């Protein structure tokens, strides 16, 4: 267990006190409330008042003001900022044009537009200004959105964001990796590596670490080397790695040759923590569908959708379905993307509601309708819709970030209890939890009044049992640290006698502290543990850092998956691995590029 210390105590934290000299150095003041530091430039409150946090904000957002170096200039700048006089006029027209160009390139990347569309955007702005503000047309002269410049700027933004991530990674107390080899549903030749790290104040950072081309790193050993190289570049060692979350493909979780086995072997040393692995978070709805689709229903429906797209586009009853498909994938979509879209509960539910219209359409185009007279197939269809709807609800719960892995594990345990309930209900032929199957059964009873056996409960009990075993296998490591998760989520109700001997003294002292109890009641978990003294509670604080570093949602992976499916045709154009990584970093990060740094680098490269 993590409560058993394996490493030396954490370093004594810096005092949470605002220092007056920071005002001129970092352009911040102490806010009226007295908590944190208020930035004079952007008026944002920096919650954690440590010098490293204040300095990080200043260097990432406002390093432009380093040009005010003399004491007199610096003092005058602070006074002007106090009065709300932001000295943006000091930017030259060329610098303003460069910032605008960078911002437009980032917007093009976020929307998945091709490199060549920058010229079209430029022409649109030119037409607009000529008609509305003709005196300002000249501002466009310094903005270059040609394809080559757009490529270079996206790479510059990526490099800036990567530098910010690496700077923050140096302070990580613990981190976890998410390895996603299923996001590229249409191509299957890339591995996305995401990192979730926790800083000294329990500030959580999730970001793309790297993209690995599986064509060039086909073997597991080559993949392992590429990941270790990315970690080394970021200044991270395996000694700080806490968890791995992956898809459940053989490449990831093969018993003897999977990447997880290799990484765990590599991380085994006296100074390393036990690496926790769970493989159910990423694309849960997508991958679980393979366990419950007992009659290859998805493949059949996929053929129908292709027919609708080619021969039934003008039919009003299918407009909602087609609109949803196009909003997800665009007007054209390859077969693999279509199949993965159909494996989502919301989509299956919509198609199920249109089954009568689908049958009529298939008759009109001369296609086979044999499935609609097969009662076993119809029952399987209804059951699949219901199970996938339950999985969709779970996936949405797991898509909520910043709740920590303890809450996510509670959702998993709740769903497993539901599966037990589903087993009993199916055995009793109680279809309360299966509305689509119940609807099919009722219809079949009306059509076949003499047939007493409409569906086979054993068939669906077996499917639910298979799903239960998969969940047990994919989340068994989280059960191994269940006590750590309980301690983290509810430290004041955790009985000390159930804790390891090494943590009992700290836990007893924590539970006897009335001030900490009051803080726990009014703050969220992250804020509470951020204010907990690492000197007084080193083991509990260490457990908090480790639990907080575990991926608690699939949000960042789903963001990458959605970006690819929406823009697959743009991304299928010839792109280097470097450019592809830049696009996905821009699309998934929550960090803001350091615009001042980017403009200064441009000026230095073009003196």
Total Cβ atoms within 10 A of residue 385: 25
Name which residue leads in pLDDT, 323 or 194.
194
Indicate if the pLDDT at residue 31 is higher than 70. yes
Half-sphere exposure of 402 (CA within 13 A, CB side): 7
pLDDT score of 242 more than 80: yes
Question: Residue 65: what pLDDT?
Answer: 75
SS3 197: strand
- Give pLDDT tens digits for 334-371: 555 666 666 676 788 888 888 888 888 888 888 888 88
Of 222-236, 241-255, 382-396, give the lowest mean pLDDT range: 241-255
Say what percent of the chain tops pLDDT 70: 83
Distances (CA, A) of 330 to 21, 325, 337: 54, 7, 11
Helix axes 297-311, 355-364, angle to 10 degrees: 60
List beta partners, residue 205: 197
Q: Do both 140 and 171 map to the same domain?
A: no
Q: HSE on the CB side for 283, CA within 13 Å? A: 22
CATH of the domain at 176: 3.30.420.40
Q: Please state whether beta strands 45-46 and 37-39 pair in parallel, antiparallel, or not at all (unpaired).
A: antiparallel
Write down the pTM of the prediction: 0.79
Q: How many helices (H) and strands (E) does the chain have?
A: 29, 8
Confidence at residue 286, expressed as pLDDT on a 0 to 100 scale: 67
The helix or strand, by DSSP H or E, that contains position 97, with its residue range, turns out to be helix 93-110
Q: 74: domain range? A: 18-81
Q: Does residue 3 lie within any of the structural domains?
A: no
The DSSP 8-state label assigned to residue 14 in this structure reads P
Q: pLDDT > 90: what percent of the chain? A: 15
Spell out the SS3 assignment of 305-331.
Answer: HHHHHHHCCCCHHHHHHHHHHHHHHCC
How confident is the prediction for the chain on average, in pLDDT? Answer: 81
Domain co-membership, 335 together with 462:
yes
554 and 495 inside one domain: no
Six-digit token string for 481: 């640290």
Q: Are residues 438 and 534 in the same domain?
A: no
Q: Residue 172's CB: how many other CB atoms inside 10 A?
A: 22
Please report whether residue 4 resides in a domain. no
Averaged pLDDT, 448-468: 82
The encoded tokens of residue 148 equal: 């080559």
Same domain flag for 501 and 560: no
How much is the average pLDDT of 302-321? 77
Contacting residues for 191 by C-beta, under 8 A, at least 6 apart: 179, 180, 181, 211, 212, 214, 217, 223
Q: What is the pLDDT of residues 525-547, one digit of tens each?
A: 888 888 888 889 998 888 888 88
Q: Would the pLDDT of 165 be above 70?
A: yes
**Same structural domain for residues 462 and 580?**
no
- pLDDT confidence of residue 327: 61
Q: Are 247 and 182 in contact (CB under 8 A)?
A: yes
The reply to whether 185 and 274 lie within a common domain is: yes
Q: What's the CA gap between 421 and 571, in Å, rounded? A: 44
**Using 50, 70 and 90 to split pLDDT, how confident is the model at 318?**
confident
Residue 131 has pLDDT above 60, yes or no: yes
Buried/exposed 18-30: b ≥16 CB within 10 Å, e otherwise = beeebbeebbbbb
DSSP state at residue 275: P
In this structure, is residue 95 part of a structural domain? yes
- Does 454 lie in the same domain as 376? yes
Residues 6+ apart with CB under 8 A from 138: none
Instruction: Pull the structure tokens for residue 106.
Output: 């980032």
Structural domains of the chain, count: 5
Looking from the CA of 163 toward its CB, the CA atoms found within 13 Å total 13
Q: 219 lies in a domain?
A: yes
pLDDT given for residue 326 in this prediction: 65
Alpha carbon distance 235, 369 (integer Å)? 60
For residues 457 and 374, state if they share a domain.
yes
Tell whether the model's pLDDT for residue 287 goes beyond 80. Answer: no
Q: Looking at the domain assignment, is residue 243 inside a domain?
A: yes
Dump the DSSP string for 201-244: T--EEEEEEEEEETTT--SHHHHHHHHHHHHHHTT--GGGEEEE
Helix, coil or strand: residue 65: helix
Q: Are 455 and 567 found together in one domain?
A: no
Separation in Å, CA 323 to CA 213, 258, 560:
33, 40, 21
The 37-39 sheet, strands edge to edge: 28-29, 37-39, 45-46
Residue 244: beta bridge partners? Answer: 177, 277
Query: Is residue 278 over pLDDT 60?
Result: yes
Has residue 605 been placed in a domain?
Answer: no
Residue 260 and residue 361 in one domain: no
State whether 339 and 404 are in the same domain.
yes
User: In the 8-state DSSP scheme, what is residue 373?
Assistant: G
- Name the band, by pLDDT with cuts 50, 70 and 90, for residue 38: confident
The β-bridge partners of 276 are 243
């Amino acid at each position: 267990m993590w409560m058993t210390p394996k490493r030396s105590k954490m370093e004594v934290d810096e005092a949470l006190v605002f220092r007056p000299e920071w005002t001129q150095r970092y352009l911040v003041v102490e806010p009226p409330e007295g908590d944190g530091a208020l930035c004079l430039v952007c008026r944002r409150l920096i919650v954690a008042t440590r010098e490293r946090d204040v300095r990080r904000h200043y260097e990432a957002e406002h390093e432009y003001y380093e040009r005010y170096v003399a004491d007199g200039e610096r003092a005058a700048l602070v006074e002007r900022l106090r009065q709300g006089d932001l000295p943006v006029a000091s930017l030259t027209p060329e610098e303003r044009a460069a910032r605008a160009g960078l911002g437009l390139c980032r917007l093009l990347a976020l929307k998945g537009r091709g490199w060549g569309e920058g010229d079209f955007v430029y022409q649109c702005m030119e037409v607009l200004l000529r008609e509305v503000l003709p005196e300002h047309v000249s501002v466009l002269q310094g903005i270059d959105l040609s394809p080559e410049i757009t490529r270079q700027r996206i790479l510059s933004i990526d490099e800036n964001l990567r530098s910010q991530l690496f700077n923050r990674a140096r302070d990580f107390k613990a981190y976890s990796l998410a390895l996603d080899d299923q996001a590229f549903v249409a191509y299957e030749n890339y591995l996305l590596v995401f990192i979730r790290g926790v800083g000294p104040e329990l500030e959580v950072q999730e970001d793309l670490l790297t993209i690995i081309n599986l064509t060039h790193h086909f073997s597991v050993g080559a993949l392992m080397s590429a990941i270790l190289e990315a970690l080394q570049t970021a200044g991270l060692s395996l000694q700080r790695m806490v968890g791995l979350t992956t898809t459940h493909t053989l490449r990831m979780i093969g018993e003897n040759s999977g990447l997880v086995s290799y990484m765990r072997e590599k991380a085994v040393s006296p100074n390393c923590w036990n690496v926790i692995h769970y493989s159910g978070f990423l694309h849960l709805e997508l991958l679980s569908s393979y366990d419950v689709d007992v009659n290859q229903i998805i493949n059949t429906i996929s053929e129908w959708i292709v027919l609708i797209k080619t021969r039934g586009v003008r039919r009003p009853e299918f407009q909602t379905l087609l609109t949803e498909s196009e909003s997800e994938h665009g007007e054209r979509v390859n077969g693999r993307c279509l199949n993965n879209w159909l494996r989502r509960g919301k989509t299956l539910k919509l198609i199920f509601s249109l089954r009568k219209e689908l049958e009529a359409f298939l008759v009109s185009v001369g296609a086979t309708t044999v499935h609609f007279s097969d009662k076993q197939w119809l029952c399987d269809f209804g059951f699949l819709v219901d199970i996938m709807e339950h999985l969709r609800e779970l996936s949405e719960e797991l898509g909520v970030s910043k709740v920590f892995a303890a809450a996510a594990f509670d959702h998993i345990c709740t769903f497993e209890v539901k599966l037990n309930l589903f087993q009993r209900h199916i055995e009793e032929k109680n279809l309360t939890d299966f509305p689509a199957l119940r609807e099919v059964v009722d219809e079949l009873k009306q059509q076949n009044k003499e047939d007493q056996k409409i569906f086979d409960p054993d068939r669906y009990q077996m499917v639910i049992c298979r799903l239960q075993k998969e969940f047990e296998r994919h989340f068994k490591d989280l059960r191994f640290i269940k006590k750590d998760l309980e301690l983290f989520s509810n430290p004041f109700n955790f009985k000390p006698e159930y804790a390891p001997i090494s943590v009992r003294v700290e836990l007893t002292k924590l539970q006897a502290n009335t001030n900490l109890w009051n803080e726990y009641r009014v703050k969220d978990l992250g804020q509470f543990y951020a204010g907990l003294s690492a000197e007084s509670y080193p083991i509990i604080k260490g457990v908090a850092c480790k639990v907080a570093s575990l991926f608690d949602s699939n949000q960042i992976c789903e963001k990458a998956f959605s970006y690819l499916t929406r823009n697959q045709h743009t991304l299928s154009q010839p792109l280097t691995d470097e450019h592809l990584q830049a696009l996905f970093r821009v699309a998934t990060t929550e960090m803001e590029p350091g615009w001042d740094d980017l403009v200064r680098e441009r000026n230095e490269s073009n003196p």
